């Protein structure tokens, strides 16, 4: 006689709400939900939200709705920030974890992140390492070096701001602290997650890091992070918001101003490269030299010298570098973010 599968038990009080925005990923959201069902910690609730997607997210999610822990919401399109805010408002668990509809959790993700928050009330968020795959030149880890300047497991506001302590999108945080922020900023098209981490860190406390690969981050050719300049502009908005909200005596204020300046310089460098690639070699090279401090090293020094002698080489060389670095650059620190835009 074959065994009859028992229906999952609804937790009386789920410990963590998993938020799954699924715009345009109907063909992938099943993988995200499979990874959720495989969690070693069963006491979770999940809201999958279709933010006016053009594809059949409802049909893709329907087979999973037999599990009472999973719910589905459909709204008009308000962007990923609005979708996350709506889904969070529809849940009640004391912890919140983010799982984008094209990403995956490793089986111990929820158990490990919630345990870390349980054990350390000074933490305002817990992040993990993740395997990056998909439309990248090579598969790699999200964080390939030590996090921050301290023990590698705790990050300060300053380290989150300058990205020397990176925060992966698959992050878990407390509902009580989220409710003290302004929520995900619906005016952002890029870097809305970075803005949330900075908002949480400005409440006080530390960011926690688990040095284990507990997430899987898929890069798609058409994903929101594909535009380098938009990512830089998103970063700049986060720094400008921090400058506007940090106390005048905050030690991080000078850092935020410097980061805003460096990011604007990187945007200017990006525009200068565009001018060269688009055919304005003389004007573009002049603009590149004006913000030359953004790049260092022998390759760039040699390149600028070569372009002085042979300006016509600048366009094909920069076009090649743009293609080479179009996807998969590391974002483990601000320097890497800025350098990926100009190297």
Q: Measure Cα distances from 78 to 21, 22, 52 in Å.
A: 11, 13, 8
d(CA 28, CA 136): 17
Residue 73 has pLDDT above 90, yes or no: yes
Establish if 104 belongs to a structural domain.
yes
Q: 196: domain CATH number?
A: 3.90.550.10
- Asked if 127 and 20 sit in the same domain, the reply is yes
Higher-pLDDT residue of 268, 200: 200
Beta bridge partners of 141: 131
Residue 139 has pLDDT above 80, yes or no: yes
Report pLDDT for 287: 87
Q: Please report the DSSP string for 57-78 in residue order.
A: HHHHHGGGTTSTTEEEEEE---
* pLDDT average, residue stretch 27-43: 97
- Asked if 135 and 58 sit in the same domain, the reply is yes
Q: What is the pLDDT of residues 141-179, one digit of tens each?
A: 999 999 999 999 999 999 999 999 999 999 999 999 999
- Asked if 146 and 287 sit in the same domain, the reply is no
Helix ranges (DSSP H) in 188-297:
192-201, 228-245, 252-277, 281-290
Q: Are 30 and 60 in contact (CB under 8 A)?
A: yes
Report pLDDT for 8: 52
- Provide the pLDDT confidence category of residue 341 given band limits of 50, 70 and 90: very low
- Asked if 136 and 95 sit in the same domain, the reply is yes
130 by DSSP, 3-state: which? strand
Establish if 3 belongs to a structural domain.
no
Establish if 286 belongs to a structural domain.
yes
Report pLDDT for 191: 92
Residue 332 has pLDDT above 60, yes or no: no
Give the number of other Cβ atoms within 10 Å of residue 4's Cβ: 5
Establish if 272 belongs to a structural domain.
yes
Give the number of other Cβ atoms within 10 Å of residue 239's Cβ: 24
Domain boundary among the residues 226, 241, 276 is at 226
Domain boundary among the residues 182, 202, 226 is at 226
Establish if 82 belongs to a structural domain.
yes
Report pLDDT for 9: 53
Residue 114 has pLDDT above 60, yes or no: yes
Report pLDDT for 86: 96
Indicate the number of domains in the chain. Answer: 2
Considering only CA atoms, which of 43, 148, 45, 129 is closest in space to residue 92?
45
Q: Is 134 left (phi over 0), alpha (psi -120 to 50) or beta?
A: left
- Asked if 258 and 192 sit in the same domain, the reply is no
- Asked if 307 and 209 sit in the same domain, the reply is no
Q: Are 80 and 51 in contact (CB under 8 A)?
A: yes
- Asked if 196 and 243 sit in the same domain, the reply is no
* pLDDT average, residue stretch 16-38: 96
* pLDDT average, residue stretch 87-111: 97
Report pLDDT for 111: 98
* pLDDT average, residue stretch 7-36: 87
Q: Are 147 and 212 in contact (CB under 8 A)?
A: no
Q: What is the mean pLDDT of the chain?
A: 88
d(CA 260, CA 174): 29
**Residue 83 lies in domain:** 16-226
- The gap from C-alpha 37 to its chain's centroid, in whole angstroms, comes to 23
- Asked if 217 and 258 sit in the same domain, the reply is no
Report pLDDT for 343: 31
Establish if 326 belongs to a structural domain.
yes
- Provide the pLDDT confidence category of residue 324 given band limits of 50, 70 and 90: low
Report pLDDT for 7: 47
Instruction: Enter the pTM of the model.
Output: 0.85
Q: Measure Cα distances from 250 to 160, 255, 324 in Å.
A: 15, 10, 40
- Provide the pLDDT confidence category of residue 229 given band limits of 50, 70 and 90: confident
Q: What is the pLDDT of residues 186-206, one digit of tens each?
A: 999 889 999 999 999 999 999
Residue 338 has pLDDT above 50, yes or no: no
Domain boundary among the residues 193, 226, 259 is at 226
Q: What is the DSSP letter of 294?
A: G
- Asked if 56 and 118 sit in the same domain, the reply is yes
Higher-pLDDT residue of 325, 269: 269
* pLDDT average, residue stretch 39-50: 97
Residue 224 has pLDDT above 60, yes or no: no
Q: Are 113 and 123 in contact (CB under 8 A)?
A: no
Residue 29 has pLDDT above 80, yes or no: yes
- Asked if 138 and 245 sit in the same domain, the reply is no
- Provide the pLDDT confidence category of residue 221 given band limits of 50, 70 and 90: confident
Chain position carrying tokens 């100009």? 342
- Asked if 167 and 300 sit in the same domain, the reply is no
Higher-pLDDT residue of 204, 324: 204
Q: Please report the DSSP string for 304-337 in residue order.
A: HHHHHH-GGGHHHHHHHHHHHTSS----SSHHHH
Q: Measure Cα distances from 20 to 69, 101, 214, 294, 306 in Å.
A: 13, 5, 17, 37, 49
Residue 272 has pLDDT above 60, yes or no: yes
- Asked if 207 and 338 sit in the same domain, the reply is no
User: Token pair for residue 334?
Assistant: 């601000």
Q: What is the DSSP letter of 23?
A: T
Report pLDDT for 222: 63
The three state secondary structure string of 135-158 is CCCCCEECCCCCCCCCCCCEECHH
Give the number of other Cβ atoms within 10 Å of residue 134's Cβ: 17
Chain position carrying tokens 């974002």? 331
Q: Are 159 and 152 in contact (CB under 8 A)?
A: no
Establish if 2 belongs to a structural domain.
no
Establish if 6 belongs to a structural domain.
no
């Amino acid at each position: 006689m074959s065994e009859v599968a028992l229906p999952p038990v609804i937790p009386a009080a789920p410990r963590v709400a998993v938020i799954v925005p699924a715009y345009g990923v109907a063909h992938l959201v099943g993988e995200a939900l499979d990874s959720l069902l495989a969690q070693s910690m069963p006491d979770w609730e999940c809201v999958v939200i279709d933010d006016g997607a053009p594809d059949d997210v409802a049909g893709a999610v329907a087979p999973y709705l037999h599990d009472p822990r999973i719910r589905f919401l459909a709204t008009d399109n308000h962007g990923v920030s609005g979708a996350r805010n709506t889904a969070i408002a529809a849940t009640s668990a004391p912890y919140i974890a983010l799982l984008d509809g094209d990403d995956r959790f490793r089986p111990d993700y929820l158990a490990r992140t919630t345990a870390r928050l349980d054990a350390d009330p000074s933490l305002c968020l817990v992040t993990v390492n993740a395997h990056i795959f998909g439309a990248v030149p090579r598969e790699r880890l999200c964080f390939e070096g030590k996090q921050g300047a301290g023990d590698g497991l705790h990050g300060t506001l300053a380290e989150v701001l300058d990205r020397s302590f990176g925060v992966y999108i698959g992050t878990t945080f407390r509902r009580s602290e989220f409710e003290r922020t302004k929520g995900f900023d619906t005016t952002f098209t890029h870097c809305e997650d970075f803005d949330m981490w900075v908002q949480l860190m400005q409440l006080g406390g530390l960011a926690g890091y688990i040095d284990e690969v507990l997430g899987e981050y898929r890069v798609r050719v058409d994903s929101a992070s594909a535009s380098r300049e938009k990512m830089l502009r998103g970063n700049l908005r986060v720094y400008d918001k921090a400058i506007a909200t940090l106390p005048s005596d905050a030690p991080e204020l000078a850092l935020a101003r410097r980061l805003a300046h460096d990011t604007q310089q990187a945007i200017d460098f990006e525009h200068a490269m565009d001018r060269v690639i688009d055919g304005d070699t003389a004007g573009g090279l002049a603009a590149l030299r004006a913000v030359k401090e953004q790049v260092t090293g022998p390759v760039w020094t040699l390149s600028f010298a070569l372009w002085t002698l042979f300006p016509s080489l600048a366009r094909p060389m920069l076009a090649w570098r743009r293609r080479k670095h179009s996807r998969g650059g590391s974002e483990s620190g601000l320097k890497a973010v800025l350098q990926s835009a100009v190297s």
